[in-house]
Structure 1
Amino acid sequence: MQRLPAATIARLYYDPERSPHAASVDAMERFLVTMRDDLVHLALLHGSSVLAEHLKASIKQHGSAKLTAMTLRMVEQASTLAAAVPLATHPVHLWFRPLIAQRLTREGIGTLGALITYCNARGGIWWRSVPRIGALRARTIIAWLRRHEATLGLKVAADVDTASFVPAETSGAGFEGQGGAKSGNSVVVIGGDSSEPRLAPFEHLAVPAELSGGNENYRGLNRASAFAFIRAEHDLAAVHAYLHRYRDRPTTLRAYTRELERLILWCVVVRHKALSSLIVEDCEAYKDFLQAPLASFTGPKRARTSGRWRPFTPEGLSADSQAYAVRVLRAAFAWLVEVRYLA
C-alpha cells in the first residue's frame, strides 16, 4: 500500500532461507498480492462498515480494490475502535495459524462453534482424532476457547482436557500409604455423588482410604484374621493379585477385569463401602444394579484413557451377561477366601 518495491520488502522483512516466496521479486509480488486479496476479503466480511463500504466502492470503480493511503488510514483507525472477539460462527482460519486451521478443516471442523461441539462430543482425547495436533497444542486451544466462552456463547465441557482423567489426581507414592494404588505417576480417586461419579478403569483406580479395606484404620469387615497367603495391604492390591493369575490369558484377563472394576466402582460410588466389607444384602443389591445400571454408569464406547469412559454401554447387560458377571465375581471371592484375604 505504501508502494515499497517487492525486493525491499523481501530484504527487510523475510528470510529467504525460511520463506521461499522471498527468493525472487516475482515470487514476492505474487505472495503480497495474494496476501492483499485475502485481507480485502476478510475486511469485507468482518471489517468495520466504513472500511467495507470504501473497499466495495473501489472494487466497483476499478474492478478490484485499489488500496491507497486513505485505505491505510481507515485500517489504522478501525483498529483503534474495537478489538475483534471470536464468535461461534467465525471460521477457524480467522483465529488459528494456517497449519492448525487446515488440520481442523480437513476433519470437517470449519467454525469455532463446530470445534467446541467436536471437543464436547469426544471429551479429553478429542485431539487424537485430528492428525498432528498433539496434547500440548490441544491444551492451548482449549484454554483459548475457555477464555472466550462469553463471546462464543458456548461452553467447553468440563472434561475436555488433555489429561487422561478429569478426577483429582494425587501422586502415587503419597496415596499408596493411605491404601491407594499406584498407576504410573498418578492415581485417580473415585467417589463423590453417584449422580455425577468420577469413574476410571481398573488400571487407573485408587479409592479413598476409608473405603480401601486397608490393613490399618480402615480394615474391611470381612478381612480374615488369619495369616494371608498374599501380600495385599488393601482390596485393590488383592484384586490385582487375583487378576495377575491370568496374565498369560489376555481375553480372560480383560473379561475378569471388566467385571471386577464394575463391582469396585459400584461399591465405592453407589454403596460407599469397601469391597472387603460387602455382605449378602450388598451382593443381592449389585445383582439388581446389573439389571439396570445407573445412567451415570453408562455411555457409548470410549477409550479407557478417556475421561468419558463408562463401565456399561447404554444397551445394558443381557440375562446371560448378568449371570456371567455373577459367576466371575463368585470365583474371585472364592479365591480371596482360599488365600485367606477374606474370611
Structure 2
Amino acid sequence: MLSTPISTASEPLLDVRGLKTWIPTRRGEVRAVDGIDLRVHAGEVIGLVGESGCGKTLAAYSVLGLLPPPARVIAGEIRFRGDDLCRRSAEERRRLRGSAMAMIFQEPLSALNPVFPIGSQVGDILRRHSTLSARQVKVRVLELLDHVGIASPGHVARAYPFQLSGGMRQRVLIAMAISCSPQLLIADEPTTALDATVQAQILDLLQRLVEQAGIAMILISHDLAVVAEMCRRVYVMYAGRIVEHSEVAAVFARPRHPYTSALLRCMPALKQDDSPLETIEGVVPALTEPEPGCRFRPRCRYAVTLCSDQDPAATELGGGRLAACHRATELGLPGTPTAVGADA
C-alpha cells in the first residue's frame, strides 16, 4: 500500500487511508479501489490521474458517499476534518455532501435533470443546505451564475439543460458545486468533450475560484497536461492502486514508476517532434482475481522476475516522493523536456 507522508504544516482536510471499494459480481469481487492512501490539505489542489477504469471516479464516490449499488467500501478510513466518514450514517453524509464537500461531475448533460430549468436545480441545493428565504435563493442563484462567468444569468436560469452548450452546462455544474461554499471540491474530468478554448476557460475559472475561496480540490483526469496547469502534487493510479505520488514538476522531470513514464509518452501536448504518438501496449488486468506481483508487469518494458513474484511496496524516494515499483531507485525513466508543471 502506498502511504503519503504526513505534512508537518497542518493536518490534512481529507485523509484517506487504506481505502478499499469492491464491487460484487458473478465472477467475484472486482477490487476497483484496492487500498489507496490520499491526502489533501486546506486550500490545496491535487491531481488524481490514470487511464479510464483505473478507479479514480469510484474513489471520489467513496469519499462523498455516492457509491452506486452494489459497490461498497469494505475497508479503510475516510477522515474529513478528522472525522471518519465511514462511521457516519447515510443522512449525516448527505448533509455534509453539498455543503462542506461537493463534486463537479464528468458529464454535465447527464448530471443535470432535463425536465427542470437551471435556476430550479441550482436553487434546490441552496434550499436543502441553507436557511435562505425563497426570495434570497432566487437572488443567490443569479449571483452564482454570474460568478462562474455566465453572461445572461437570468436567461440561463430559465433555460433547460438541452438549450445550453457543453461549456455553459459545465459552468452551471460549477455554480452548483460552489453554491454552499464547500471546503473540498472534487472535479471529475471537468473539461472532457470541450474544445480547447472552452477547456482553457473552465480551467481558468476553477483556478480563480480555488484561489479566491481557498477551496481544496481534487482534480481527476487522464490528462497530465491538465493536471500540470492546476496542481502542485499528483497521485498516479493504476488498476485500483496508487503507484506514484509526487510534486507535479518532479513527475514531469523524472517519473519514478514505469506507468507514469508511459503516460507521459502518450501525451500529445508533450510531444516535441513529429514521431508517432506512443501507446501503452496491453490491457488493464482483470481485478476480480489479480495475479500476484505488480499489476502493471504485463505491460511494463522494465519488468523482471521479482515483479511477477512479489507485490511492490512503496519506496520512499526523498522529498515526499513515493513509488510502488521494485526498481524505482535504479531506473532512469525518461521524463519530458517541457517546462509544463514547473510553476504548478
Range class of TM-score, shorter chain: under 0.3
Structure with the higher fraction of residues in strand conformation = 2
- Say which structure is richer in helix: 1
Greater radius of gyration (CA): 1
More relative contact order, 1 or 2 (CA 8 Å, 6+ apart): 2
TM-score (norm 2): 0.25
